[in-house]
Amino acid sequence: MTIFGFLRKRETASAVARDRLQILLSHERGIDGDPNLILALREEILRAIGKHVDIAPDKVRISMRRGDPVSTLEVEVDVPSAGAFRKAA
Amino acid sequence: MAKVLVVTSGKGGVGKTTSTAALGAALAQTGKKVAVVDFDVGLRNLDLIMGAERRVVYDLINVVQGDAKLSQALIRDKRLENLHLLPASQTRDKDALTEEGVERVIGELKAEFDWIVCDSPAGIERGATLAMRFADVAVIVTNPEVSSVRDSDRIIGLLDAKTKKAEDGGRVEKHLLVTRYDRARAERGEMLKTDDVIEILSVPLLGVIPESEEVLKASNLGTPVTILSPLSAPGRAYTDAARRLIGDVVPMTIPAERRGLMTKLFGRRAA
């Protein structure tokens, strides 16, 4: 608690609920109503990148944002520093 | 042109059957010919909520299997002559419903009614997927509570993927109906606000039904709340929602319970 603590808004239960839902649903949202599709995609992308780059599984994040009229599939990959790249065989 | 509307949610207990009865009756009150259809095979309740439980002779499965004509199974509401009920079977299992059979019955209903309102069972199994299969319009019933919102999101995915309309390259028109809303708790930050739910689900809002004792009373008496107490807060909210469904532009307010004089003078003004 700083002296400016009173300026910081205390997080309400509804704000916590909203944030938890948004994170959960961006991962669970499937294409064609199939939530497992995102998981399968993530594994394949990991495997494809893993052939060339050493990468930790948590560095690949896939999420689905639903919008009208278009939904977007977001793939976020944290690529490590240049030293991690293997020479292509 | 007849419209097939599915009332769905994923989660149980959020108010699908209550909403089906209330919206069906409100649509009938605007002069439309309405059939409400119970898809909850083995756990039928729409007949009870509509107060027709002792008048059921034939049901949806009898019609699907050709043991009865549609006209024999339809129950005309005693209060509104253009409102009819097609009950679910209480004795069979959901496997007795076939997609072809449901398609045929929906087709027959479309020839006779303006609105066919399908009450979906909870879950994402066969009963729920068949209830939404031939829908043109969907009302997604959601409580402002995390598990209900999550399940609604799942159902929205299915509406966009597993319906006939979606498979034919079209879109089921989707509407969000927030039920059991407690404005005071939402304002205190204890409950998800309607705007949060809309933002998370990305579905336009059809209406907000406030938490109210009237709804339970209506169920107890077997009279849809829009018939029993059309001027109560939930009665007005359902009537407004039904008017939006038929294309009327109705300002979005969240009807509040009538308050005492002191609250009126010193409390927040009711919307």
> What's the pLDDT tens digit per position in B114-145?
999 999 999 999 999 999 999 999 999 999 99
Sign for the CA dihedral angle at B114, B44, B230, B10 comes to negative
pTM surpassing 0.95?
no
Q: Is the CB of A13 inside 8 Å of chain B's CB atoms?
A: yes
B163-168 long-range CB contacts below 8 Å, 24 or more apart? B163/B132, B163/B133, B163/B134, B163/B135, B164/B133, B164/B134, B165/B135, B165/B136
Q: Check CB contact under 8 Å for B192 and A17.
A: yes
The Cα of B188 is separated from the nearest Cα of chain A by a number of Å equal to 8
**How high is the pLDDT of residue B258?**
58
- List of residues 6+ apart from A3 with CB closer than 8 A: none
Q: Would you write out chain B's pLDDT as a tens digit for each of its 271 residues? A: 899 999 999 999 999 999 999 999 999 999 999 999 999 999 999 999 999 999 999 999 999 999 999 999 999 999 999 999 999 999 888 789 999 999 999 999 999 999 999 999 999 999 999 999 999 999 999 999 999 999 999 999 999 999 999 999 999 999 999 999 999 999 999 999 999 999 999 999 999 999 999 999 999 999 999 999 999 999 999 999 999 999 999 999 876 665 555 555 555 444 4
Assigned token pair, B67:
């043991």
**How high is the pLDDT of residue A2?**
53
Q: pLDDT tens for residues B156-194?
A: 999 999 999 999 999 999 999 999 999 999 999 999 999
Q: Is the CB of B156 inside 8 Å of chain A's CB atoms?
A: yes
Q: Measured between alpha carbons, how far is B210 from A82 in angstroms, rounded to an integer? A: 58
The Cα of A22 is separated from the nearest Cα of chain B by a number of Å equal to 6
CATH fold for domain B3-246: Rossmann fold (3.40.50)
Q: Give the mean pLDDT of chain B.
A: 93
Select from B146, B154, B190 the Cβ nearest to the Cβ of A21.
B146
